[in-house]
């Protein structure tokens, strides 16, 4: 089970399928132990997962208990929020892993994800590994790594009053946080600021990435979506 399936649902929602291009820059791999079953030494297993991920160019790595590579700091004032150092620190994430949690690694290319999954197969950590990606990419990754898929879970897309949803530019960015911690209203404000030249796509992305508490937000994709909104005028 993963809370990231809906980040691609906008592409398959009724009445919108023909308008949305395929997602080719957003691939996630999760690791999770089961309490009382295979959680002995799980902190070190999670650290191994993260170290292997860092070797394959992840755009984000997250600890569901403590946050991702991009996270807020209690030591900063609201004014510093806009000009702080946004560079991620992998060592902070590794040091923070203490016990049972969920680890996630986000990749920009399928090749990076496939290389990571091959390494996970060789490491044989003994915990559940979940790939969250468009179906064709997930299937191709399993084949490349020599794995047989255990099960599959689909997103049925957005249903109901679709007219009440934010517009596509907002929705594509805000749904990249599976816990709903990236506010649609803040995304809309930042899109407006990017269009007005008050913030760059990279700056807007850095602000939003820190709100995703589990670290599955894809900053590379978000920056490209901000740039698309800026140049299209949509």
Separation CA 4–CA 149 (nearest Å):
18
Inside any domain, residue 166 = yes
Q: Where are the alpha helices (H) located in 38-183, listed in sequence order?
A: 42-54, 90-96, 110-123, 135-145, 168-174
Inside any domain, residue 199 = yes
Q: φ, ψ for residue 147 (rounded to 5)?
A: -110, 150
Helices 42-54 and 110-123: crossing angle in degrees, nearest 10, is 140
- Structure token digits, residue 219: 């900053």
Inside any domain, residue 155 = no
Separation CA 99–CA 77 (nearest Å):
31
Q: What's the domain range around 167?
A: 5-150+160-232
Q: Could you tell me how many residues make up the chain? A: 234
Separation CA 212–CA 221 (nearest Å):
14
Beta carbons within 8 Å of 110's beta carbon, 6+ residues apart: 24, 27, 133, 137, 140, 141
Separation CA 117–CA 31 (nearest Å):
11
3 state SS of 196: helix
Total of domains in the chain: 1
Inside any domain, residue 51 = yes
CA 4 to chain centre: 8
For position 18, what pLDDT does the model report?
45
For position 103, what pLDDT does the model report?
94
3 state SS of 31: strand
Separation CA 131–CA 150 (nearest Å):
11
Q: What is the widest separation between alpha-carbon atoms in the chain?
A: 53
Inside any domain, residue 181 = yes
- Structure token digits, residue 141: 């990754």
Please tell me whether the overall predicted TM-score, pTM, comes out greater than 0.95 for this model.
Answer: no
For position 17, what pLDDT does the model report?
45
Inside any domain, residue 93 = yes
For position 1, what pLDDT does the model report?
46
Inside any domain, residue 169 = yes
For position 11, what pLDDT does the model report?
54
pLDDT along the chain (234 residues), means of 10: 66 50 87 84 92 96 88 72 73 88 94 96 93 89 90 79 84 87 94 95 92 91 94 71
- Structure token digits, residue 115: 């290389």
Place of tokens 């920009």: 108
Inside any domain, residue 33 = yes
């Amino acid at each position: 089970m993963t809370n990231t399936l809906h980040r691609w649902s906008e592409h398959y929602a009724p009445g919108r399928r023909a308008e949305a291009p395929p997602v080719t820059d957003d691939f996630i791999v999760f690791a999770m132990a089961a309490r009382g079953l295979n959680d002995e030494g799980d902190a070190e297993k999670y650290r191994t997962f993260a170290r292997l991920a860092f070797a394959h160019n992840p755009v984000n790595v997250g600890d569901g208990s403590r946050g991702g590579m991009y996270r807020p700091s209690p030591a900063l004032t609201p004014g510093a929020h806009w000009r702080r150092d946004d560079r991620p620190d992998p060592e902070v994430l590794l040091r923070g892993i203490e016990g049972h949690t969920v680890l996630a690694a986000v990749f920009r290319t399928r090749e990076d994800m496939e290389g990571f999954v091959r390494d996970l197969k060789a490491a044989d950590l003994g915990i559940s590994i979940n790939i969250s990606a468009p179906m064709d990419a997930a299937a191709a990754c399993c084949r490349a790594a020599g794995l047989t898929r255990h099960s599959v879970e689909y997103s049925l897309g957005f249903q109901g009053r679709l007219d009440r949803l934010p517009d596509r530019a907002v929705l594509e960015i805000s749904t990249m946080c599976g816990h709903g911690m990236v506010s649609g209203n803040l995304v809309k404000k930042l899109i407006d600021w990017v269009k007005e030249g008050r913030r760059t796509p990279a700056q807007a992305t850095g602000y939003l990435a820190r709100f995703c508490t589990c670290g599955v937000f894809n900053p590379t994709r978000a920056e490209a979506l901000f740039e698309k909104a800026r140049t299209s005028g949509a």
